[in-house]
Amino acid sequence: MNNLKKLSAFTIAASCALLTAHSSLAAKHHGSAKRHIYKGSISQSVAAADRLLIKGKYANAASRYQAALKKNPHDANAAVGLGMALAKQFKLDGAEQQFDKVLAHDPGNPGAHAGKAMVMLNRLNSSSNTIRKSRDTILKEAENESQRALESDPEIPEAHYTMGMVYKEQGRMNDALAEFHKAVAIDPSYADGYSGSGLVKLAQNNPGSAASDFKQAIRLNSGDYTAHYGLGESLRASGQTDAALKEFNTALYQFPNSWPVHLAMGKTYETQGNTVAAVREYQESIRIKPENSAAYLGIANIREARGDIEHSIAELRSGLELMPDNADLHQRIGDESLRIEKIDDAIKEYETIMSSQPGNARAAEGLTTAYYLKAQKETKGGFFGDNDYDTAMQMIDKAVQMNPNDLRLRLAQAKIRALTGDTVDLNAIGQPTNDGERVSYAQALLAQNRFQEAAQAMNTVIAHSNTPKQTFALADLALMIRDLDSAEAAYRKAATMPGSAERARRGLANVGKAREEARQHLTLADDLSRKKMTGSAIDTYHQAIFSNPKVPGARLGIARSLESVSHATPVQLREAAMQYRAYIALSPTMPIKEQEKFEKKAAKLDGKAGKIEQRSASAR
């Protein structure tokens, strides 16, 4: 999928850290290095509460802080500690109230400002539309609070940590990493600094280095659930699924209502093939955080793998109700709609994405693929040159203008232009350099009826696929665009991989079904043509071509039928010419003289269409 920005596990990791803003805020015991989050002397009651906080006993810690405040209502340190303990229990209003009380008497209190920043970051996990729509504003406010804390005391690691998390949520990864490094430079025993650094490295696809940071955080604070979660993600990225599950279970023991951890467990179970457990974890993640597109996509993966595409789409649409602008969900619904031949539904989804993200290459590819299939299936002979498709062409052209060096977008542009009758020199566009580009190149070749070259490109990609996920994705795509030879080759390769036999069997059955449908439609179309039922014959030939575009007889039959239409339109004449050329391309053993005969026939039809268009223009 989707260039959807996807909600990756690494982005979710950031949310996980925001959810906890973890317990190193109270990690130091009484008598250790100076606690910058506090000012002045620290009472024994506050120090004792700190020790409970670091162990994750937030309610007990809150009770100790409250007891300290009863003894001394003016103990600002106890109030700051209580705010932290309440924040970890998601009692954000109560936490903020404590910080505000402190700031009312001491406007520069660094701990209170750092605490308010943490509360603001935690509020971002709310399902409230008001909060979600105010995300940028809240992040800016959290940044300001962190800055105020640092202005009061530049040596406060907690403020550097919250500032780092703000930067991470804003996508400023290098700035975030710098803040986390400052935090641990000030206090090498500050576990959150290492956890934050690990989360950034996960987002930068560096799981090995991230794991080192998370392990260091755990050594400093075994109760750091974010570190256990992050270490689990690092292990999962390295393929160590059993070890990853162990860390996730530890994290859930420490914080049972973590939607990112449930999501990560779902992905891990899915990787292991335990789909029942995976769905359970995805659903639990959604229960806690409904606006969680990755969980809906995970369930859709499993439904799709079982062959239940309609159920998969329904799952995705339930997510879309909460996240109507989520490009990943729209993209996936579009892709799956194509697989069940709901082409117009797919077009709507892709155009929705490109309306808000005009440079989205994945949506552009999906849109042109949908029109390619529509061109094969169209039964009115009116696709080529039809003004109804101008919007699609304009969208693709705009996307190319925004990303002129994106080969896949330029190939999508070539594909849509080929469908409307333009001649496009693919060699002038450039040669593919990776498998993603080769698949796009193959589709552009198919749109030009260059079947043998398309097969070569697809065979190269099939040869490179070495995991069941890669191979099935390629096979499913080939089946969707009715490149049945490539689909069959990919499914057969997947069948040799562990645990893939049943899904491969279903895929091969669908390939066989498409071939049989094409054969039946061709037989019926030929019969209708012999009976001079030209209109019905054309419709049925189109159905045969849609089921299997590589059937030469269907191409020849529809070309002859279109040519024989009384008072044929220029569109029908040009399509007839195109179908004759497709017939030639699908008949590599055809004698040269025979090829020349059909080429002349196609050229004559193009010329006739041009003359009719000229007369119409003159009449206007």
Helix (H/G/I), strand (E/B), else coil: 12 = helix
- Distance between CA atoms of residues 576 and 557, nearest Å: 10
Is 306 in a helix, a strand, or coil?
coil
Top CATH class, 517-619: mainly alpha
- Asked if pLDDT for residue 419 goes beyond 80, the answer is no
Output the pLDDT for position 376. 79
Is the confidence at residue 330, as pLDDT, over 70?
yes
At residue 386 the predicted structure's pLDDT band, cuts being 50, 70 and 90, is: low
Sign of CA dihedral 416, 420, 426, 428: negative
CATH class of 9-221: mainly alpha
Say which amino acid occupies 44: Q
316: enclosing H helix or E strand: helix 309-322
Give the model confidence (pLDDT) of 167-202 as tens digits.
999 999 999 999 999 999 999 988 889 999 999 999
Query: Cβ contacts of residue 234 below 8 Å, gap of 6+?
Result: 198, 202, 207, 208, 210, 211, 214
Which token pair is 247?
């860390």
Give a three-class secondary structure readout of 20-74.
HCCHHHHCCCCCCCCCCCCCCCCCHHHHHHHHHHHCCCHHHHHHHHHHHHHHCCC
pLDDT at 305: 84
Alpha carbon distance 486, 445 (integer Å): 14
- Cα–Cα distance between 356 and 364 in angstroms, integer? 12
Instruction: Give the CA count within 13 Å in the CB-facing half-sphere of 467.
Output: 5
Same fold, 9-221 and 517-619: yes
Query: Per-residue confidence at 126, pLDDT binned at 50, 70, 90?
Result: confident
Give the whole-angstrom CA distance, residue 69 versus residue 155.
Answer: 26
Q: Looking at residues 556-566, what average pLDDT do you find?
A: 94
- For residue 500, what are the CA distances in angstroms to 305, 471, 489? 10, 10, 14
What is residue 11's predicted lDDT score, i.e. its pLDDT? 41
Alpha carbon of 533 to those of 528, 540, 565, 568: distances in Å? 5, 11, 10, 15
Query: For the whole prediction, is pTM greater than 0.85?
Result: no
Return the higher-pLDDT residue of 23 and 146. 146
Extents of the domains making up the chain: 9-221, 517-619
- The DSSP result for 538-566, as a single string, is HHHHHHHHHH-TT-HHHHHHHHHHHHTST
- pLDDT at 14 (0 to 100): 41
